[in-house]
Amino acid sequence: MKKHNFYAGPSILPQYTIQNTAQAVIDFAGTGLSIMEISHRSKEFTAVIEETQALFKELLNIPDGYSVIFLGGGASLQFAMIPFNLMRKKAAYLNTGEWATKAIKEARFFGEVEVVASSEDRNFSYIPKDFRIPTDADYFHITSNNTIYGTEIRHDMDSPVTLVADMSSDIFSRPVDVSKYGVIYGGAQKNLAPAGVTFVIIRNDILGKTERQIPTMLNYQTHISKGSMFNTPPCLTVFSALQTLKWMKDQGGVQEMAKRNAEKAAILYTEIDRNRLFRGTVAKEDRSVMNICFVMNDEYKDLEKEFLEMASSRGMIGIKGHRSVGGFRASTYNALPRESVEALVEVMKDFEQMKA
């Protein structure tokens, strides 16, 4: 039976990435050695790092004056590295979910944090509007996509101060005007590579402005100056990321990913809105294209377990919603084929015919 992988992260990867990574585990670049055992300073792996950085810049159209670095620690470490490197006195944050909340907590260790707006009052089911970004903040931080609650900021906002974005789960899903951001960062395990590598895109001229001493490993300048090779990078996952970037380029780039993702999301949201058994959980204008959350309508709540069992029997994997929201979540990342979304919709229709 075909499996349809809707996991939120780690999540589906292109078969191209999986197969090439599997081959590199056995024999990397014709060296007779595994990617897991070759020196990160070998000419073969140095070429991987350099090509991965170049494809990041090409696919996202990153302007001059920006660096792309690859680190460990996940996006969670970036919650501290951002204020460590950028906050002098004050930072502003938009609170749209659990990961934004955690980023705010870390920033408060370094100075004043102004939460300009929050959607916590309605369980993070919408993106706040009409907030004011304080001009005396050193930066303004957003989380562009919320995997748990299923909301997304799908535009590149204007900010009077340096804009910082956690794009862990929607990077490469749509074109981004990188020039509007000082920093874009994210864990790779949701749309790019296996868990283990974190990407940071950073505008060089915003660094070196704080007076505090920054530990060597937590200083962005350290990793920029050494080309992500100050210490041993996560070689396997950087290699996998390169394969995904090659696959995306071959498929037509970020524009094509955005087109496909919009089509997949429209198919599933249309069925959620039509099907009498289900309903969406977030404001329609703020619906995520990457993480589609829905629940049973109140009168059918007791059918949730039965639907999950039926979906599982038809090859649907990872659609159980996060415990904070309940219900269901279908993560429709770049590598998820349209056929998987259509298969899920068929299960929903069949279940409705059985029960409604």
DSSP 284: G
> What whole-number distance in Å separates Cα of residue 307 and Cα of residue 116?
40
CA atoms of 289 and 151, how far apart (whole Å): 8
Out of 138, 170, 190, 320, which one is annotated catalytic?
190
Q: Which of 138, 166, 170, 286 is catalytic?
A: 166
> 114 exposed, middle or buried (CB, 10 Å; 0-12, 13-18, 19+)?
middle
Cα(304)–Cα(296) distance, integer angstroms = 7
Q: Which of 106, 147, 121 is nearest to 9 (CA)?
A: 147
User: Residue 302 and residue 300: Cα distance in Å, rounded?
Assistant: 5
166 belongs to the catalytic site: yes
From the list 248, 308, 237, the residue with the least C-alpha distance to 35 is: 237
Cβ atoms 80, 57 nearer than 8 A: no
**What DSSP line would sit under 315-340, residue for residue?**
TEES-BPPTTT-SEEEE--TTS-HHH
**Which stretches does DSSP call E strand in the chain?**
4-5, 66-71, 90-95, 112-118, 139-143, 145-146, 151-152, 162-166, 183-187, 198-203, 278-280, 291-296, 316-317, 328-331
Active site residues: 99, 166, 190
